[in-house]
Amino acid sequence: MNSKNYYIVAKAPDDPSLHVKISGPYLTQKAAKADLAEAISEAQSLDSSAKNYNYEISYIESQKPGILQHMAASAQ
């Protein structure tokens, strides 16, 4: 895995410095875009306040999974 990858990130509208990787890593921006709507829907089903977040695809240095992948791995 690359040290920099694409992630779907949720940012709090009142504090843009507060952000959470909700999904990823993705090797390409196209792959992240393909998963964007589903990741947002899943985040909102888990947290009702997630409807207020701003979502974007970010290219960041990290090899850790997004929270949705982390939760899925923990549920198995």
Q: Determine, yes or no, domain membership for 65.
A: no
Q: Determine, yes or no, domain membership for 39.
A: yes
Taking the model in full, what pTM does it have? Answer: 0.85
Q: Is the pLDDT of residue 63 over 90?
A: no
The number of folded domains in the chain is: 1
- Torsion-angle region of residue 13: left (phi > 0), alpha (psi -120 to 50) or beta? alpha
**Domain coverage including residue 16:** 4-60
pLDDT at 31: 96
Tell me the C-alpha distance between 41 and 22, whole Å.
11
Q: Determine, yes or no, domain membership for 11.
A: yes
Q: Determine, yes or no, domain membership for 14.
A: yes
Q: Determine, yes or no, domain membership for 76.
A: no
Enumerate residues 6+ apart whose C-beta is below 8 A from 4. 59, 60, 61, 62
Write out pLDDT tens, residues 14-60.
Answer: 987 888 999 999 999 999 999 999 999 999 998 888 899 999 999 99
Q: Determine, yes or no, domain membership for 44.
A: yes
Q: Determine, yes or no, domain membership for 30.
A: yes
Q: Determine, yes or no, domain membership for 49.
A: yes
